Amino acid sequence: MKLKATDQIHISAVSSDTLKPGTEFDVSDAMGEELLNKRPDAVAFVSASEQEPPEQEKDAVQTAHPTKDAGSAPENKAVPAAPVNKAKAGAPAAKAKPKG
C-alpha cells in the first residue's frame, strides 16, 4: 500500500528519519490500515491514479543521484609502504658508554 505523509511523522519501520509532508512511502496493507486508523491526520492513501508510473520514478531517481563517468572519479592510489629498517632483528643494539 502506498501512503503519503500529510504532516511530519516518524515511522521507524519506514525510515530512520522523520518523514516530511508530501513524502510517499510503501507499507504492507495491514500496517497501512493501522496507520490510516491511528493517524488519519498524518497520513493519506495514495490512489493508483496519483501514483507515478515506474519509468518516471526511475528517471527521478537518476536525476537526483547522477552517475559519475569513469574519468571524473579520483584515482585511489596506494600509499607507499614505510621504509624498511636496515638494522637486523638479531643484531645487538648500540649501547651508550657510561659516563665516568
Contact in structure between 3 and 24 (CB atoms under 8 Å): yes
- Domains of the chain, by residue range, sit at 2-64
> In this model, does residue 16 exceed pLDDT 70?
yes
Global pTM reads 0.47
What does 74-88 look like in DSSP terms, one character per residue? Answer: PP-PPPPPPPPP-S-
Report the mean per-residue pLDDT for the chain. Answer: 76
Q: What average pLDDT score do residues 39-66 get?
A: 68
pLDDT at position 47 is 82
